[in-house]
Structure 1
């Protein structure tokens, strides 16, 4: 990174995150603390209102905002694709804001950059579930959950897992995550007295309550990593003719793949064997469960039921 780019990046960092120590800036931009000192001096001489607090770091004078800047073609395309995703997947409030933001970005792009950005963007297409019948309900749910999260208000809903009875859940919503095409609510569950994840497709009769809650001050959604309690290992043997398809499936529970003379050896890591039963059955005779024996028995039982139906 050259000096000009680094100076701009420093201003953006201070504008975005507030007070920053010289040591932290030096580590972030992979330079020396002395260079950061010189950069701060250069920014001050250029008219940027840098405020230095001994023992604390540097910040921008309150109210200062970096004036509009230009975008490269790649940066413009990245922003436009991101806004297109918001237009497709978020509730109508954010759809309208994304549409307005896209118009502003396109308006400030120079003609040549805008035309090149359009050409590059035409090479990408974002396919989502926008045309599905349940999207109206999903958008309403997103809007209500967003309000509950920002206002820190509890919600109540009926939750139905496959094969289990409906449970009423009262939760403190901490955030919403988009994982592999699925919206997931991260919330403190009062029934389980712990953080839990709820697929929005399984939520029914969502209700915003009057009760408030306090999110833990040390919780941030972007740094949150759920504990991995998948402790059961399942060993499979996949026939050669299905090996490539299994590799391409990018199945969440796959822990290890190893090619062998007798086929593809697959290790799955799960909480309960039942979680992958239908995936295994989906490969028909091309998949053989090696262990555990209890899952081998379940597959045999399901195969017998299938034979009886035919």
Structure 2
């Protein structure tokens, strides 16, 4: 990125934050804090009204805005592709707002850029998973608003998918999409601890008028990392047949060691999955193309699972 583009982007970064530190700007652009200070000084000399508050950070003077920015061909294409991917993980409430926003962006593009996006739309498709049935849809946008407005949510939750429905009042703190599902991260008053609630296991919910305080230093990413670390992780070495390696790379959401191709064409991988139950089910779905090599206890559990499946189809 040349300096002109970086300075323009820095104004947009300041414009999109109420206040931001030099360290945050440096991290965003992957450069030194000293360079940030030089760029901020250059913007000030050029007439951009930057307000510096000692110990707090930098902001733009209230009321200052850059004129509309013209999207380049790559930027317009990137926005289109982001929208196509988000369509696959969003529900109707989020999908509608996304389409409306992209429509407004299209409206300010020149005719040439609009024609390029139309050609791209006809030439590109994104398919992450099979769509849910209407009755399985979960409304994401109201829960996002509950997180932002710090309002409590009442849940009827199917814990572990076992049919044991419990009523809870939670303090929503964030939402994450991982393992092919949306998750609500919240403080559960019933359990008196932070919990991870899968949206597909929420039987019903209601955003309450009651607000909540606290949890100011809570980080959703840190919580998930610590939550995964708290589970017993048993390294499992698996041999995968060449016919399923594309599927393995596409579906495997756990961490793994580098692949080792064997003389017989199979690939040995050491998996680190936080849920052994999930791993067994996933490996079973791969059939004889996946063979657990180590540890012996995992081989035994796979054998027992296979025998149970065979008995059901005797």
| CA drift at 1:269 | 2.2
Quote the Cα distance in structure 1 between the aligned partners of 2:94 and 2:223. Answer: 24
Write the deviation string for residues 176-232 of structure 1: whole angstroms up to 9, x where unpaired: 212254211111233443322222112212233454322511224467643123433
- Using the TM superposition, give the Cα deviation of residue 75 of structure 1 relative to its aligned residue in structure 2, in angstroms: 0.6
Distance 1:247 1:162 in 2: 25
Query: Structure 2: any 5+ residue segments left out of the alignment?
Result: none
Unaligned runs of 5+ in 1: none
Q: Return closer, same or farther for 1:146/1:234 CA change in 2, 3 Å cut-off.
A: same
Pick aligned residue for 1:268 from 245, 258, 271: 271
Secondary structure of the corresponding residue to residue 252 of structure 1 = coil
Trace 1:100-139 onto structure 2 (pairs within 5 A).
Answer: 100-127=100-127, 131-134=131-134, 137-139=136-138
Distance 2:89 2:291 in 1: 39
Shift, 1:291, TM fit? 3.7
| Pairs aligned (count) | 307
Hey, what's the Cα distance between the residues in 1 that align with 2:247 and 2:95? 37
Residue 295 of structure 1 pairs with residue 293 of structure 2: no
Q: What is the rounded CA distance, in whole Å, between the counterparts of 2:238 and 2:128 in structure 1?
A: 33
CA distance in 2, matches of 1:47, 1:41: 10
Structure 2 distance, partners of 1:237, 1:101, is 45
**Cα distance change, pair 243–264 in 1 and its aligned pair in 2 (3 A):** farther
Q: Is the 8 A contact 1:236 1:290 kept in 2?
A: yes
1:275 Cα deviation from its structure 2 partner? 2.5
Which one has the largest radius of gyration? 1
**Structure 1 stretch displaced more, 18-27 or 68-77:** 18-27
Q: For 1:63, what is the secondary structure of its paired residue?
A: coil
Contact 2:188/2:195, CA 8 A, preserved across alignment: yes
Q: Secondary structure at the match of 2:253?
A: coil
Q: 1:41 to 1:238 in 2, by over 3 A?
A: closer
Residue of structure 1 equivalent to 2:147 = 149
How far apart are the structure 2 equivalents of 1:302 and 1:27?
48
Partner of 1:198: 197
Q: Does 2:16 correspond to 1:16?
A: yes
Counterparts of 2:248 and 2:129, CA distance in 1: 25
Runs of 4+ aligned residues of structure 1 deviating over 6 Å after TM superposition are: none
Question: Aligned with 2:140: secondary structure?
Answer: helix
